[in-house]
Structure 1
Amino acid sequence: MKIGAGLLLASTVVFSGCSGFWDPPANSGGGGGTTPTTLSSGVFYVVNETTKQLVGYSINSGTLGAISGGTETFLAAPSCIAIAPSGGFLYVGTTGGIYMYSIGSSGALTAGSNGGIFNSGELPAAMEVDPSDSWLIAAYINGSNQVELDAIPISATNGSYIGAPGAALPSQAFSIANATVKQIAISRDGANVFVALGTGGTIVVPFNSGNSNPLGATARTIAPQTSGGSALSVAVDPTTRFFYIGETLVNSSATPGGLRVFSYSSLSSGTLAQITGSPIASGGLSPNAILPLGSGDFVYVANGQGPTTAGNIAWFSLSASGSTYTIAAGKTIGAGIQPMGLAEDNTKAFVLAVSTGGSTTSGNPDLDAYTISSGALTLAVKSVTGTDPVGAVAVAAVPK
């Protein structure tokens, strides 16, 4: 793909186991009332696809508030967001291009110089900024029906595009049968890119930020656990001990979603190893998002339960005995209809979840914010994120 010679102005006008399953996590309640808190959060942003908006928020002593200067409205529907690890800038992928903004100390957004980055060809289904803040990696299905990754060179200082206008982007394309790009994740050590591809499984692509093309030419494909399964989500442990894949596992259970947990170090061997307890039932039909806590001790899964039914957030503990790691089920807590995104705010006080609403007119609610205690979640804030239906599809927290 080539980068557009004219940059698109971003303006307000417009993330070795057995083959069976453990019991699903016990349900700890639905999406009922909230438990008041005096905790405060860092800044985070919600992508509203239906209303074509990005909305910035923070929680102050338990009360949700919109960020002044933190809302942007687009001409085209947004679908994904990527915030630089430095916390200084972000990108929003829309059906009309990729917009770039710098993030002020209060969370206010400023359109980048000359507007931001615009891809004039295929558009990203998922994006992520690498740990060096030097590359924006965009994933999509190209015109040849291949999985393509584009590496867009960016300034680590301000996030602007630093390649030549009109030049071909560093990229790699892979022929993966039945692939649909669902999610992308880059390991904290900057060595691997993971892409969940639906029934096409998950690919792992080597990455080196110091190369002129940071993307490796070969991809390791991880097939779904069961025939007919689908990889919906992917994440990497911040301490790079594990990587996670959320799949529909196609079994006789009423909740066939599953979480697979792999040893990250096994990527360097011939055989990938799942940890003890993996795969484990995710607690719902579709594990749409995975969030490992920054501490690395717990991982959360956002489960959809159908287009009109409230979903849930399940949590799991990770423990070690010597060099052996184990995942164990915790409980679930109610969420909105079709929860699609998870984030941990930078104060580590809240887990944030957004829900699209499925085929209904509201996420009911669009946003849930949960406090954390030894991994367990308690609903503290729930809210709409605009005039419903907003179609909240993603949430991202400023990391610093």
Structure 2
Amino acid sequence: MRSRFWGCLAVAAFCLTGCTGFWDAPASSGGGGTGSTTLSSGDVYVLNVATSQMVGLYVNAGALTVLPGSPYTLSAAPIAITVAPNNAFLYVSTLGGIFVYNVNTSTGELTVGNSGQPISSDPATSMQVDSTNTWLVEGVSGTSNLFAIHVNATTGLLASNTEQTAVLPATSLEQVAVSPDDSSVLAAMGSGGTAIVGFNPNNANPFGTVGTIGVKNANGAALSVAFDPGPSGSTVPRLFYIGETVATSGSNTGGLRVVNFSTRQEISGSPYAIGGLAPYSILPLSTGDYVYVVSRQTSSGSTGVIAGFSITSANSAFTLTALGSTFATGTNPQALVEDNTQAFVFAADFGGSPDLIGYVFDTTNAGYLDKVISNATGTDPVQASAVAALH
């Protein structure tokens, strides 16, 4: 267990509101009754576009606390962030390229690698490291290529100067995801649908055959993708998810499409209504019991919502059941992440009000999210655009 000793001084130094005054009581969706003095989380990292900063934070005894060395000034506006599965390094994509940071797993502190120079000039829209920690898979919106950068599993630095490519059938890339078993990559391509690309990290070029899943509605767009984490003890996912606009009926037409990983068939009941218009981020919990979708806006305005679903299976058939309530976020939320204690879900809100929200799981209503902490991640407006966590 890491030693936590920075406390309120670190928070005050970062211009947060301090260890008191920013606490939000748990939501009324179940009244979990978690005491504020006992709450603690793992480390999370937030990108602030307007200030070109990366901020490291964690919850300690109910207080949102800044990690040592944070905030980290970036040379250009940030776009995307990802942490390698081994927690040894973290990548930040900016308008000036992709930078690697070494992670001190005892303190959460980051140290920029590669002498502060980018390992790639790509302004990656989205990226993820495969489970072998040797391939950084990324894509740039406006291009038809998916890229794989070969990196050293210990240092995160380049193992080869040659980027491998897969040609996508569309150029409007929104998000990428690598399957837990490293066999597939998903790429959400807006109105171009979703590409599913074969992947093998043992090959010199890890990319394989490129297939396409069209959008559900001709006016819709695929914005987000994610893989189910797979059953306990296995890395093979059961399902994968696609977040699309104009996928369901009603006033909030965003939807969650759910596909059986083995059969590549959409399950019965899919797409599922998510209570919003723009599904920007999908978070399957590491336990495999629930999946959450955050909508950047709803038909009534820019205040987003999180929809949650429980997942059950019987005779190789899967069922998602919507929780009885959606959960409020701030303005234009863009990203969700689960921390490595499996106790918190964090949401980053591009429009603020506030910038970062932490939820715990309700102890009465299974799967419900209780908002227990929220705050700015700098001097607003910071435009918090992405959040990542140690695994």
Bin for the TM-score computed over the shorter chain = 0.7 to 0.9
Shift of 1:226: 1.1
- What aligned pairs does 1:1-400 form with structure 2 within 5 A after superposition? 37=36, 38-104=38-104, 105-120=106-121, 122-141=122-141, 146-164=143-161, 168-176=162-170, 179-216=171-208, 218-239=209-230, 240-249=237-246, 252-266=249-263, 272-305=264-297, 309-330=302-323, 331-357=325-351, 363-373=352-362, 374-399=366-391
Amino acid at match of 1:156: A
CA displacement, residues 1-40 of structure 1 (integer Å, 9 cap, x when unaligned):
xxxxxxxxxxxxxxxxxxxxxxxxxxx879xxx9753221
CA displacement, residues 252-271 of structure 1 (integer Å, 9 cap, x when unaligned):
511101001110112xxxxx
Question: Structure 1 residues 252 and 318, CA, compared in 2 at 3 Å: closer, same or farther?
Answer: closer
Asked if the contact 2:296–2:333 (Cα under 8 Å) also holds between the matched residues in 1, the reply is: yes
> CA–CA distance in 2 between the matches of 1:202 and 1:75?
32
Amino acid at match of 1:231: A
Higher RCO (C-alpha under 8 Å, 6+ residues apart): 1
> CA–CA distance in 2 between the matches of 1:72 and 1:324?
46
Shift of 1:280: 0.6
Asked if the contact 1:116–1:161 (Cα under 8 Å) also holds between the matched residues in 2, the reply is: no
> CA–CA distance in 2 between the matches of 1:71 and 1:375?
32
Amino acid at match of 2:350: T
Shift of 1:281: 0.2
Question: Structure 1 residues 190 and 116, CA, compared in 2 at 3 Å: closer, same or farther?
Answer: farther
> CA–CA distance in 1 between the matches of 2:266 and 2:249?
22
Asked if the contact 2:248–2:255 (Cα under 8 Å) also holds between the matched residues in 1, the reply is: no
User: Per the alignment, in what secondary structure is the counterpart of residue 114 of structure 1?
Assistant: helix
Asked if the contact 2:333–2:350 (Cα under 8 Å) also holds between the matched residues in 1, the reply is: yes
CA RMSD, 1 decimal? 1.8
> CA–CA distance in 2 between the matches of 1:273 and 1:384?
42
Asked if the contact 1:242–1:264 (Cα under 8 Å) also holds between the matched residues in 2, the reply is: yes
Q: Which runs of 5+ in 1 are unaligned?
A: 1-27, 267-271, 358-362
Aligned twin of 1:18: none
User: Per the alignment, in what secondary structure is the counterpart of residue 368 of structure 1?
Assistant: strand
User: Per the alignment, in what secondary structure is the counterpart of residue 219 of structure 1?
Assistant: strand
Shift of 1:161: 1.1
Shift of 1:251: 5.3
Amino acid at match of 1:117: P
User: Per the alignment, in what secondary structure is the counterpart of residue 92 of structure 2?
Assistant: strand
Shift of 1:393: 0.7
Shift of 1:276: 2.6
Report sequence identity in percent.
43
CA displacement, residues 217-236 of structure 1 (integer Å, 9 cap, x when unaligned):
x3111111111111011000
Amino acid at match of 1:114: S
- Normalised by the length of structure 2, the TM-score is 0.85
> CA–CA distance in 1 between the matches of 2:50 and 2:120?
22
> CA–CA distance in 1 between the matches of 2:345 and 2:173?
25
Aligned residue pairs total 349
Aligned twin of 1:24: none
Amino acid at match of 1:372: F
Asked if the contact 1:87–1:398 (Cα under 8 Å) also holds between the matched residues in 2, the reply is: yes
Question: Structure 1 residues 132 and 251, CA, compared in 2 at 3 Å: closer, same or farther?
Answer: closer
